[in-house]
Amino acid sequence: MAVDGRLVCGRFPRASTYHPGWVLAGVGSAANALWLTEWLGEALDLRPGMRVLDLGCGRAMSSVFLRREFGVQVWAADLWFSPTENLRRVRDAGVEDGVFPLHADARALPFAADFFDAVVSVDSFFYYGTDDLYLNTLARFVKPGGRIGIAQAGLSGELDGEVPAHLRDWWAQDRPWCFHSAAWWRRHWERTGILDIETADTLADGWRFWVDWLKVVAPDNATEIAAVEDDAGRHLGYVRVVGRRRADAPLDDPVVSIPIQYEQRPLLRGSE
């Protein structure tokens, strides 16, 4: 029987051991979740037994990968994808003892403060993390000294002025407007004083991996494939950012309710 060589990539030796049929059955975004998770894992000090939040996990392929490759316990949280489906995938992968799927909104996470050793987000953080106030909300769930890491589609540098002509047809879609460079994410996080940034970089030849993946999972997506190929890394690629939570960083508790303080007062002048 011929070996299926799809998705074998020397840059990602761990991800290349996973069967392409399993990977393709779990597609949840326009990026290869295993490739990005492997790349992100290279910048994280993950050790067996750690508690990790996989935020925006999609179909939990990244969660399975983290459990199998690093021995961590993973809470696989996503708003759009079914935790029931993800549990079946987790069981079939033999990691039910260490991957716990749940339905959760990134802006209303149901965890205790300081619960996780690390938070990872693969190709989803741009949907919610650009909010100026979001990092304070998320960092509360990470122990002091713990890490937050993201790996996702992004830019080599911020676009000033008009979108380049070769990107306009694809850029007319909504999502690219939330793409940013690694330098932008560094500034976005550093100015809060919550994290010490340890890594902020761009994947070498990331645009090639982007195209390679699309040609396998979405060969009919001619607009995006053409845009990324024509760009050839001038603007588009994959970015990675990792920060360690500072022990001295002041984090505000979220306001969950406001006490009733209503007192009846005259509505108009002269009506006392």
DSSP per position, 39-85: HHHTTS---TT-EEEEET-TTSHHHHHHHHHH--EEEEEESSS-HHH
| Amino acid code (one letter) for 148 | I
- Strands 236-245 and 195-202, bridge-based pairing: antiparallel
Residue 1: the pLDDT is 44
CB 96, CB 69: distance < 8 Å:
no
Range list of H helices, the chain: 20-25, 33-41, 61-70, 83-92, 134-139, 168-171, 182-190, 206-217, 222-231
Helices (H) and strands (E) in the chain, counts: 9, 7
Model-level pTM? 0.93
CA–CA separation, 256 and 218 (whole Å): 42
CA–CA separation, 204 and 208 (whole Å): 9
Residue 175: the pLDDT is 65
Name the stretches of the chain with pLDDT < 70. 1-3, 173-175, 272
Residue 52: the pLDDT is 98
Q: 27: which 2 tokens? A: 């597609």
CB 36, CB 238: distance < 8 Å:
yes
Residue 201: the pLDDT is 98
CB-side neighbour CA atoms (13 Å) of 160 = 2
Residue 172: the pLDDT is 80
pLDDT digits (tens, 9 = 90+) for 146-204: 999 999 999 999 988 889 999 999 988 666 889 999 999 999 999 999 999 999 999 99
Residue 199: the pLDDT is 98
Catalogue all structural domains in the chain, each as residue range(s) with its CATH number.
31-245 (3.40.50.150)
